[in-house]
Amino acid sequence: MAGYIVRRVLQAIPVLLGTTFLIYFMVFALPGDPVVALFGEKTPPPQVVEQLRERYNLDKPFIVQYLIFLGNIFRGDLGVSFSGQPVADILAQTFPVTLRLAALSTFFLMVGGIGVGLISGLRKGGVFDASALVVSLIFISLPIFVVAFVAQYVFAIQLGWFRTTVGVGAPWQDLILPALVLATASFAQIVRLTRASVIETEGQDFVRTAASKGLSRNRIVPVHILRNSLIPVVTYLAVDFGTLMVGAVVTEGIFNVPGVGRTVYQAIIRGENPTVVAFVTVMVLIYLVVNLLIDLLYAVLDPRIRYAK
Amino acid sequence: MPSNVNTRPDQQHFVAPIEETPLVAIDAVKTEGKPTNLWTDGWRDVRGRPMFWISAALIVLVVIVALFPGWFTQVPPNNDCQLANSNAGPTDGHPLGFTKQGCDIYSRIIHGTSTSLSVGLIVTFLVAFLGIVFGAFAGFYGGWLDSVLSRLGDIFFSIPYILAAVVVMSVLSQYANVWVISIAIGIFAWPATARVLRAEILRVKNADFVMASTALGVSSFRILLRHVLPNSIAPVIVITTISLASAIVAEATLSFLGVGLPSSTMSWGNDISAAQNDLRTAPQTLILPSIALSVTVLSFIMLGEVIRDALDPKARAQR
Residue range A55-68: average pLDDT?
73
A36-A40-A42 Cα angle (round to 5)? 85
Answer yes or no: are the C-beta atoms of B62 and B113 closer than 8 Å.
Answer: yes
Task: Indicate the angle between helix axes B191-204 and B105-141, nearest 10 degrees.
Answer: 40
Q: Which amino acid is at A245?
A: M
The pLDDT of residue B4 is 46
Instruction: Measure A83 CA to nearest chain B CA, in Å.
Output: 19
Query: ipTM, 2 decimals?
Result: 0.79
Query: Which of A203-207, A258-262, A273-277, A285-289 has the least mean pLDDT?
Result: A273-277
Interface contact B158-A26, CB threshold 8 A: no
B126 confidence band (pLDDT: 50, 70, 90): very high
Answer yes or no: are the C-beta atoms of A226 and A118 closer than 8 Å.
Answer: yes
Q: Which residues on chain B are in Cβ contact (under 8 Å) with A273? A: 170-171
pLDDT of B292 > 50? The answer is yes
The pLDDT of residue B127 is 92
pLDDT digit string, tens, across residues B239-251: 888 888 889 889 8
Residue range B163-185: average pLDDT?
84
DSSP lists the bridge partners of residue A86 as: A80
Which residue among B158, B174, B279 sits closest to A149, beta carbon to beta carbon? B279
Query: Which of A67-76, A132-141, B8-17, B292-301 has the least mean pLDDT?
Result: B8-17
Which residue among A145, A200, A276 sits closest to B256, beta carbon to beta carbon? A145
Interface contact B276-A268, CB threshold 8 A: no
State how far the Cα of A183 lies from the Cα of A43, in Å rounded to an integer.
43
Task: Identify which has the larger pLDDT, B40 or B137.
Answer: B137
Instruction: Measure A138 CA to nearest chain B CA, in Å.
Output: 7
Residue range A269-275: average pLDDT?
74
State how far the Cα of A123 lies from the Cα of A115, in Å rounded to an integer.
12
Percent of chain A with pLDDT over 70: 86
State how far the Cα of B251 lies from the Cα of B280, in Å rounded to an integer.
25
Q: Which of B144, B154, B171, B246 to mutate to test the interface with A (most CBs of A within 10 A)?
A: B171
Answer yes or no: are the C-beta atoms of A49 and A32 closer than 8 Å.
Answer: no
CA–chain centroid gap for A287, Å, is 7
Which residue among A14, A140, A149 sits closest to B276, beta carbon to beta carbon? A149
State how far the Cα of B315 lies from the Cα of A122, in Å rounded to an integer.
16
Interface contact B297-A245, CB threshold 8 A: no
Q: What are the φ/ψ torsions at residue B96 (nearest 5 degrees)?
A: -110, 5
The pLDDT of residue A200 is 81
> How many beta-carbon pairs under 8 angstroms link A with B?
143
DSSP lists the bridge partners of residue B98 as: B104
Task: Identify which has the larger pLDDT, A252 or B26.
Answer: A252
The pLDDT of residue A291 is 79
State how far the Cα of B293 lies from the Cα of B283, in Å rounded to an integer.
16
Buried/exposed code over A76-91 (b: 16+ C-beta within 10 A; e: otherwise): eebbbbeeeeebbebb
pLDDT of A82 > 80? The answer is no
A58 confidence band (pLDDT: 50, 70, 90): low
Q: What are the φ/ψ torsions at residue A237 (nearest 5 degrees)?
A: -55, -35
A180 confidence band (pLDDT: 50, 70, 90): confident
The pLDDT of residue A34 is 59
Q: Which residues contact B163 (CB under 8 A, 6 or more apart)?
A: A242, A245, A246, A249, A280, A283, A284
Q: Which residues on chain A are in Cβ contact (under 8 Å) with B305? A: 137
Interface contact B164-A27, CB threshold 8 A: no
Q: Which residues on chain A are in Cβ contact (under 8 Å) with B171? A: 26-27, 30, 32, 34, 37, 273
The pLDDT of residue B124 is 92
Interface contact A284-B175, CB threshold 8 A: no
Interface contact B318-A269, CB threshold 8 A: no
Interface contact B159-A146, CB threshold 8 A: no
State how far the Cα of A144 lies from the Cα of A251, in Å rounded to an integer.
8
Which residue among A15, A140, A253 sits closest to B151, beta carbon to beta carbon? A15
The pLDDT of residue A214 is 79
Mean pLDDT computed over every residue of chain A: 79
Q: Which residues on chain B are in Cβ contact (under 8 Å) with A125? A: 319
B131 confidence band (pLDDT: 50, 70, 90): very high
pLDDT of A167 > 60? The answer is yes
Instruction: Measure B279 CA to nearest chain A CA, in Å.
Output: 7
Q: Which of A7, A42, A146 to mutate to test the interface with B (most CBs of B within 10 A)?
A: A146
Nearest CA in chain B to A15: B155
Q: Which residues on chain B are in Cβ contact (under 8 Å) with A246? A: 160, 162-163, 253
- Nearest residue to A192 (alpha-carbon basis) of A242, A240, A129, A235: A129
State how far the Cα of A51 lies from the Cα of A89, in Å rounded to an integer.
24
Query: What pTM does this model have?
Result: 0.81
pLDDT digit string, tens, across residues B222-279: 888 888 888 888 888 888 888 888 898 898 888 888 888 887 788 888 888 888 777 7
Residue range A8-30: average pLDDT?
79
Mean pLDDT computed over every residue of chain B: 80
The pLDDT of residue A309 is 46
Interface contact B167-A283, CB threshold 8 A: no
pLDDT of A251 > 50? The answer is yes
The pLDDT of residue B60 is 92
